[in-house]
Each structure stands twice: as C-alpha cells, then as structure tokens.
C-alpha cells in the first residue's frame, strides 16, 4: 500500500536547493524528501520559517550594488 504524505513541493534552481539543504542540515526539520535536482518536498508548517531563513541567507550572500546615498 502506498503512502501519501502531506507537504509542500518546492521547485527552484539547484543553487537555491543547495542553500535549503544547508539550512536543513542544522536541525533536519525542513525537508521530508529530496526529490531531484530542482525539487524538494518540505513540511508545510515550516514554510514561513524556511522562507524567512532563505531570505536572510540570500541577504548575506548577495550584496546589491546600491547607488551612492543621495547627496542632496
């Protein structure tokens, strides 16, 4: 008998996926199943936290080139 598990399927680039896996490695509380290079199956109730963490992580790695502060 097959099993059906409730959750959220995430589709993303491999780069983003590796970040999520990295985030998961701390507590292993996000990912249910690593599906393929671009798909991850995660817990539904952890989605908001995961989104926030990812956002935070991207902020660290990506520094936008903001133009110089206004001189006015």
Partner 1 sequence: MASTQSYQLSDYLEKLPGTTFRKLYQQPSTAFAIFRRELPPLAKYFVQALLYMPDALLLSQLDIWVREDGKMARDRALSILRSLHIVQITPPSKDKPQEVQLTTNFKNSMRLALEGGGTHNSWGVPSNLPVDSSIDIPYLDRYARRKWEDILHYVVSSVALHGDGGGGGGSNTGPKTSVKDLLLAGRLVEPSRGIKSGITITQAGFAFLLQEANAQVWTLLLLWLEAADHTAGSLMDSIDMLCFLFMLASMELGRAYDTDSLTEPRRNMLPSLVDFGLIYIPSRDTRQYFPTRLATTLTSSFSSLRPLFSDPNSAPGGETGSLGLGLGSSLAPPIATASASSISGSKGSIIIETNYRMYAYTSSPLQIAVLALFTQLNMRFANMVTGRLTRDSIRRAIGYGITADQIISYLAAHAHEQMRATAASTGRPVLPPTVVDQIRLWQLENERMSSTGGFLFKDFDSTDEYQALCGYAEEVGVLDWKNDRKQHFFVSKIEQLRDYLKSRKKVE
Q: Quote the least distance from Cβ 40 to partner 1, whole Å.
A: 9
Instruction: Looking at residues 5 to 24 of the shown chain, list those that interact with partner 1 (rule: CB under 8 A).
Output: 5-13, 16, 20
Report yes or no: 36 and 12 within 8 Å, Cβ to Cβ.
Answer: no
CA distance 20 to 17: 5
Q: Which of 26, 27, 36, 60 is in the footprint of partner 1 by CB under 8 A?
A: 36
State the residues that interact with partner 1 by CB under 8 A.
1-13, 16, 20, 32-33, 35-36, 39, 41, 44, 47, 54, 58, 64, 66-67, 70, 72
């Amino acid at each position: 008998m097959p099993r059906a598990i409730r959750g959220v399927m995430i589709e993303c680039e491999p780069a983003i996926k590796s970040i999520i896996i990295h985030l998961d490695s701390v507590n292993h509380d996000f990912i249910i199943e690593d599906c393929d290079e671009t798909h991850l199956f995660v817990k539904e109730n952890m989605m908001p936290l995961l989104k926030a963490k990812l956002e935070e992580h991207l902020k660290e790695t990506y520094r936008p080139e903001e133009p110089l502060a206004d001189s006015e």
